[in-house]
Each structure stands twice: as structure tokens, then as C-alpha cells.
Amino acid sequence: MLRSLHSKLLFYFVVLSLLSIFLMSIAFRLAFDDCFATYLDHRREDEIARFINVISGMYLTEGSLNKRNFANSSELQTLISYQAVSEGLFYEIRNIDGVKVIDSTNLIKDIMGITINFENKESVLKDLGLNSETKSLFLNNEQVGTITSYYKLGYKKGEFAFKERLNKHIFVAEMTMVLISLMVSFFFSKKLTTGLRYVSNKAKELRSNLNVRIPVKGLSEEIAAVAGSINELAESLSYQEKLRKQYSSDMAHEFRTPISTLRSLIEAFQDGILQPTADRLEKCHSELMRLVRLVNEQEQLMVAENPKLKLQIEPISLSEEILNIKEVYTPGFQKKNIVLEIKEIPTDVSFLADRDRFSQIISNILMNCYKFTDENGQVTISANDNNDFIEIMIADNGMGISEEDLPYVFERFYRGDKSRVRQTGGSGLGLSIVKALVSAQEATIAIESKEKVGTKIILCFPKYFV
């Protein structure tokens, strides 16, 4: 039923609004009842005080509580009748000797049409719902008797009508608030989900068009953040799609050249145009081995990028490993009179890596240095111990890499200077393999280069695995 975000938000907003209105209504009614009851109590106390003031004035004049004087006082009798009818107040006053001097409870029979049995007066008044309260009567700072007030708890007709009228107004206000809350909830939930729906629809367009971008102007901060993330994802997908197409094109190109050469030579042999001499067969073998290298390097890259690649991580002595590498590659470098030099290698320092993969990484880097360094050049290997990791630098003074090509050197088949590639050869997969093997060992690689100055590759391997 509540499957869409809009319906869920609307439901929760409405429930929250109704609950808030309901609780506020109850709180208001309780507060009103309490305040109104307090007001009625104060008004009753004021009426009783008013009655006592009249009695006090007569006492000061007469000097005593006298039943006859009270009965002859029109002011007192008028007040007693008024309070009995309008306020529901009745009194019984006794002097200090316990003699009853005023008793207005007999007015009950005229107001309610009930005859009171004075022998059982308290019980009858209680049955009529009248509450009683007896206090000492002090006049002129002297106790002259007692006063018992009888009054009915609850609302009288006029007060009840007032409360009913107020309740009707409260109900109208509640219904108005409910209507407003429904409208606001619908508008707010619609406003919130409109942005999400807009982002969702734009995201669906990415299935068929990776060039779609979501404008974030006018969106809320949170939804704009989501839209921004989707735009970044679209950029990444677009870039990956571009790489995929470029990779397919490059791969076809790399295989096409040796295959075309082999095909033309073999067809010439078959047609008798060319004789399969040793030199021509050597050229066929060379092109075939080029294909084999391409396949092998592609396989190496796939293995290196496999998240399930099994690594034999072990402590490796830094100085020992670098010296072994120097011994292996020095003879090859001497053919071009390139000096392979080791500088500043910390002793008695080990780091964690897969020995075979590490050798493969260094081998690929050194072969790149060899290819792109002119005769009489220099390649330097150095290292630093930086507490939690080992930093290995391999630098040459070769051709260098242009600023335009530098960000792409780790991409498959990427080769910047085409003329240089024709001179040096290579498939363009070497550094891609290096990057994948470095990442697999939780290490990092960075490259710094300047054309006609040289290139520096920085490897950072951890000393401890978390």
C-alpha cells in the first residue's frame, strides 16, 4: 500500500500532525478545565468573603450575632437569595454558643422543590451533591462563631454552556488544523519527492546515454549531493566506456599489424612470389613472437587485475633485493652504455611484498627505462625508510614524458609519442601491469617526468599489513 516514498512521507506527516493536534487538544482541554475550576473556586471564595463582609458590618453595628437582626436585614436577605439562586451557595452560621443564627439551606426546597429533613440534613445535602466546608468565623479579630458553606461542585447551567461553546470553537480549530496539516504534508512530501523523482528519471537515462548530466541548480542540498554523486558516476562510466572502446581499437590495431605481415608473407610463399628464405622466415618468426608477447602481456594484466590474485606476501630485505636486481640487469644496460647505479639504500630494512610480483614490477620499470634512455645515459635506484613504508625511487635521464601524456601512462596500450614507439617497440601494457601488481599488494606508485630531462617512478610498499 505505502510503496512509494511520497505516500510514505505523506502518511507519516499526516500521522505526526494528527497526533500532535490530538495531544495539543487534550493538553489545552485539561489546562482549561484546571484553570476554569480554579477560577470558579476563586469566585466562590470571593462570594463567601462578600457574605462575611456584610455579616461583619452588621456585627460591628449590633455588637453580636443576632438572628432577629439578620432576619430584618434586607441587604443580607437579598445577598443570600442571590447567592443561592445564581451561585448555588448556602450558609449555616452559629454563634460562639452554638446557636444557629442564619440558615439559608431552607431555600433549597424553593429552588429544587425538595423538603429537607433537618434531622438528617447533612445526609440529604450530600445526596443532592452539595459539598460542605466549615470554618471558624472571625469578626473584628475575634472568633464569634462558625460558618458552614454548602455548594455544588461542577458546572452550573451557564458555565456548562460556556464550556460547550468553547469546545465547539476548539473542535473547529482542530478541524482547520487537520486540513492545513494535510495540505502542508501533501505539498511538502510532493516537493521533496519531486526532486528525487527528477534525479531518478535522469539516472535512468544513463542506461542509454552516458552523456546525460543532472543539473543541481534549484535542488535541495541533500538531493543536489545525490545528483552530484550520480554525475560523478556518469563521468566515470563515460570515461570507462571511452577506455573500453579505445582498448578494443588499440587491441585490434596491435594484433592487426603482425597478423597482416604474416598473412602477406605466407600468401606470397604460397603463390610463389617470394621464396621462404631464412631471413623471411625469421621475419615471420619475429612477428609471431610479437603476437605471443601481446597475448602473454594481456594474460599477465588480467591476472594482475584479478581481485582473487593469490600473493605470497613475505618479508623482503630491501638492500639484498635491490642488489640482486642490479646484478641481473647490469649486463643488458651495458650494451647501451647505460649506467645502472644504486644510491642510498638503507641496510637491515625489510618490507612486505610478493617476491615474484615485486621482481616483475621492477623488471617492467627498468625495461621502460632501458627503452627510453639514450646511450651513455644513467638509471638510478634509491630508497628511503619512512617508518611504516619503504619508498623506492627509480629515475632515468631519458626522453621523459610530456605533461599531456603523463596522466595516461598507466592505461592499457597507451603510448604518447608514436615516433618514439616505432623506435623502441612495446605494446603499451607494461606500466598497466605494474600499476595492477602494485595495487594488489596495497602499495602505491607515482610518476614524475619532464620531457628531455628524465622520468622518476616512486614506489611505496608497506612494512606492515593491517
Q: pLDDT (tens digit, 9 = 90+) per residue, 7-52? A: 777 777 788 888 888 888 888 888 888 888 888 888 888 888 888 8
- Does residue 398 have a pLDDT over 60? yes
CATH code, residues 5-160: 3.30.450
Q: Which of 93-102, 191-200, 209-218, 321-330 has the highest mean pLDDT?
A: 321-330
Question: Which of 251-265, 269-283, 424-438 bottoms out in mean pLDDT, i.e. has the lowest?
Answer: 424-438
Whole-number pLDDT of residue 413 = 66
Per DSSP, 107 falls in state G
Whole-number pLDDT of residue 436 = 87
Whole-number pLDDT of residue 380 = 94
d(CA 37, CA 155): 9
**C-alpha radius of gyration, the chain, whole number:** 52
Q: Residue 372's closest CA among 450, 291, 445? A: 450
* Percent of the chain whose predicted confidence (pLDDT) is above 90: 9
Whole-number pLDDT of residue 117 = 60
Each residue of 57-115: pLDDT tens digit? Answer: 877 777 777 777 677 778 888 888 888 888 888 888 888 888 888 888 778 777 766 66
Q: Tell me the domain boundaries of the chain.
A: 5-160, 221-302, 311-462
What is the side-by-side strand order in the sheet with 339-343? Answer: 339-343, 378-386, 389-396, 454-462, 444-450
Backbone φ and ψ of 89, nearest 5° = -105, 135
Whole-number pLDDT of residue 2 = 62
Handedness of CA 393, 397, 403, 408 (dihedral sign): negative
Q: How many CB atoms lie within 10 A of CB 417?
A: 15
Per DSSP, 63 falls in state S
Per DSSP, 116 falls in state -
Each residue of 130-179: pLDDT tens digit? Answer: 788 888 888 777 888 888 888 877 666 677 788 788 888 888 888 888 88
Q: 348 pLDDT band (50/70/90 cuts)?
A: confident
Q: Residue 370's closest CA among 418, 424, 406? A: 424
Whole-number pLDDT of residue 466 = 47
DSSP 148-196: EEEEE-S--HHHHHHHHHHHHHHHHHHHHHHHHHHHHHHHHHHHHHHHH
Question: Which of 115-129, 180-194, 282-296, 409-423 bottoms out in mean pLDDT, i.e. has the lowest?
Answer: 409-423
The alpha carbon of residue 379 and the mean position of all alpha carbons in its chain are separated, in whole angstroms, by: 51
CATH top class, domain 311-462? alpha beta
Burial class (CB in 10 A: 0-12, 13-18, 19+), 288: middle
Each residue of 289-325: pLDDT tens digit? Answer: 878 877 877 777 777 767 677 888 888 898 888 888 8
d(CA 21, CA 171): 11
Mean pLDDT computed over every residue of the chain: 81
CATH topology for the 221-302 domain: Helix Hairpins (1.10.287)
d(CA 246, CA 299): 18
d(CA 438, CA 357): 8
